[in-house]
Amino acid sequence: MEAQALFLQTGGSLIAILALYFVARALKLGGKPRLGDEAQVRACAGEVEEGFDAQRVSIARDGAAALASDADGRIMVIKRHGNRFAGRILTRSATVREEVDAIVVDAGEARFGAVRLSIDDPAYWADAINRL
Amino acid sequence: MPDFSPTVYAVPLFVIAVLAEMVWSRLKRPEAYEPMDTLVSLAFGLGSTVAGALFGGLAAYVFIEAYQYRLFDFGPNANSKWWTVWWAWPLAFVLDDLKYYWVHRAGHRIRWMWAAHVNHHSSQHYNLSTALRQTWTGSFTFGLLFAVPLVLLGFHPAMLAIVAGFNLIYQFWIHTEAINRMPRWFEAVMNTPSHHRVHHATNPRYLDRNYAGVFIIWDKLFGTFEAERDDEKIRYGIVKQLGSFNLLWSVFHEWIGMLRDIWRSPWRHKLSYLIREPGWSHDGSRETSDMIRERWQERTGGEAISVAPRNPIESPGQAA
Interval B238-269: pLDDT, tens: 999 999 999 999 999 999 999 999 999 999 99
Which residue on chain A is closest to B21 by alpha carbon?
Answer: A24
- Region B95-109 average pLDDT: 98
Best of B33, B136, B311 to substitute, by most chain A Cβ atoms within 10 angstroms, is B33
Pairing of strands A84-89, A75-81: antiparallel
- pLDDT at B314 exceeding the cut of 50: no
Chain B positions touching A33 (Cβ under 8 A) are 31, 311, 313-314, 318-320
Q: Is residue B198 within 8 Å of residue B227, measured between CB atoms? A: yes
The residue among A130, A30, A115 whose CA lies nearest residue A73 is A130
Q: What is the mean pLDDT of chain B?
A: 92
Q: What ipTM does this complex have?
A: 0.92
Is A33 within 8 Å of B244 when comparing Cβ atoms?
no
Is A10 within 8 Å of B31 when comparing Cβ atoms?
no
Beta partners for A103? A98, A117
CA distance A16 to A18: 6
Which residue on chain A is closest to B54 by alpha carbon?
Answer: A1
Give the closest of A24, A33, A51 to B320, CB-based: A33
CA distances from residue B302 to A42, B143, B239, B295 in whole angstroms, order as listed: 20, 33, 18, 10
Q: Return the number of CB contacts < 8 Å for A and B.
A: 144
Best of B313, B314, B318 to substitute, by most chain A Cβ atoms within 10 angstroms, is B313
Strand order in the sheet with A65-70: A54-59, A65-70, A75-81, A84-89
Helix, strand and coil content of chain A, in percent to the nearest 5, comes to 35, 30, 35
Chain B positions touching A25 (Cβ under 8 A) are 35
Residue B35, chain A, CB below 8 Å: the answer is yes
The residue among B45, B21, B46 whose CA lies nearest residue B33 is B21
* A65-74, B227-236, B255-264, B296-305: segment of lowest average pLDDT: B296-305
